[in-house]
Amino acid sequence: MNKDVKVINDRLQPRFKRVSQTRYWLQVADDHYGQTYNFFFNYQRKWQRLKSIPLHTITTYDLAYLETVVSELQTLTKLTIDYVGFTDQVWPERQQLIQKKRHGYE
């Protein structure tokens, strides 16, 4: 397992409690000011506030690397991944748009 994937997985597992009526997902943000990719673990119980826990920061600012990390995480956790700040960027391998719609808070 990739070292970054391991750090992310180790940090999210204790939080991922699979409580009923609760949505869990991952958020990946492109921090173009700091030139990093930031990972967050988000969860929200129905009608409650959204909680967002920082998991990890990847300093290798390279989309190809991010793609490998993300695909590994997807197979490992099966969690939905939300992308923020990636509008108009395309996965180098899959050749698909990363983020189809601009996030409302961007």
Positions touching other proteins (CB under 8 A) are 7, 11, 27, 29-31, 33-34, 38, 40, 44, 47-57, 84-85, 103-106
Task: Report the residue number, 57 or 68, with the smaller CB distance to other proteins.
Answer: 57
- What span, in angstroms and rounded, lies between the C-alpha atoms of 51 and 40? 10
Task: Report the residue number, 51 or 94, with the smaller CB distance to other proteins.
Answer: 51
- What span, in angstroms and rounded, lies between the C-alpha atoms of 102 and 106? 7
101, two tokens: 């719609």
Task: Report the residue number, 14 or 104, with the smaller CB distance to other proteins.
Answer: 104
**Residue 6 host element (H or E):** helix 3-12
CB of 51 to other proteins, least distance (A): 5
